[in-house]
Chains A and B, each alone.
Chain A
């Protein structure tokens, strides 16, 4: 069971907009820690997609955007393309009485219909 909660799957038709949520708590996202997003294409290593809640690394299309509010964050993908079909993971930092460290969401599989 992951500290950050993501929907197991989302889907959309080419050209559509989809969003993937990442829900945390007061010990991670709600505590002000940044949220980062990764895209993992089948059989490959994760790739940084969004860092610092809403920043895109060089080379990432502006179809991808991130936001954060309260104890949650979201990844939006507009103009859906077939090559966007992948697993997406959110990541943050958690600090509580039981310890602290990096935490990931359980991942969301995006299917392009």
Chain B
């Protein structure tokens, strides 16, 4: 079945970096764009942007430029989200989600909790 499996929770200190992985299975990885969505504690969903899994070209939403990098390793059907210079406000659950048709997302990864604390 189609599924996205993300890496486990991370606890990082302010200023550090983190790399979250999202491994796809059950479909042709390069046929569908991959999106990233952030959910801060107790808050709603916030779209971070997407990456073209065919070309590797990333597009970042406003507020997610500079410290956020989307990348791929198509040989293992995996997308990555790297966040550098972590701040306390980056504490959130980060989801990857496959994009279908007119921008709907299905399925979603199970989420990766990134906690930034000294």
Contact = CB atoms under 8 A, between A and B. Distances in A.
Interface stretch (B8-16, B79-87, B96-104): B96-104
Nearest to B96: A45
* Interface bin, chain B: 20 to 34
A98 to B, nearest CB: 8
B32 interface: no
Nearest to B47: A102
A2 B44 contact: yes
A106 to B, nearest CB: 5
Nearest to A101: B61
A47 B110 CA distance: 10
Interface in B62-118: 62, 95, 97, 100-111
Given A51-B100, A89-B45, A102 B35 contact: yes
Given A45-B108, A47-B108, A105 B102 contact: no
A-side binding surface: helix, strand, loop or mixed? strand
Contacts of A24: none
B72 to A, nearest CB: 19
B47 A48 contact: no
Given A101-B47, A102-B47, A34 B62 contact: no
25 contacts: A34-B104, A38-B105, A45-B109, A45-B111, A46-B105, A47-B107, A47-B108, A48-B107, A51-B101, A51-B102, A51-B106, A89-B44, A89-B45, A91-B103, A91-B104, A91-B105, A93-B102, A93-B103, A101-B59, A101-B61, A102-B35, A102-B47, A103-B47, A104-B45, A106-B44
Interface of B: 35, 37, 44-47, 49-50, 59, 61-62, 95, 97, 100-111
Interface of A: 2, 33-34, 36, 38, 44-48, 51-52, 57, 89, 91-93, 98-99, 101-107
Given A45-B110, A101-B62, 6 more contacts: A36-B105, A45-B111, A93-B103, A101-B49, A102-B50, A104-B45
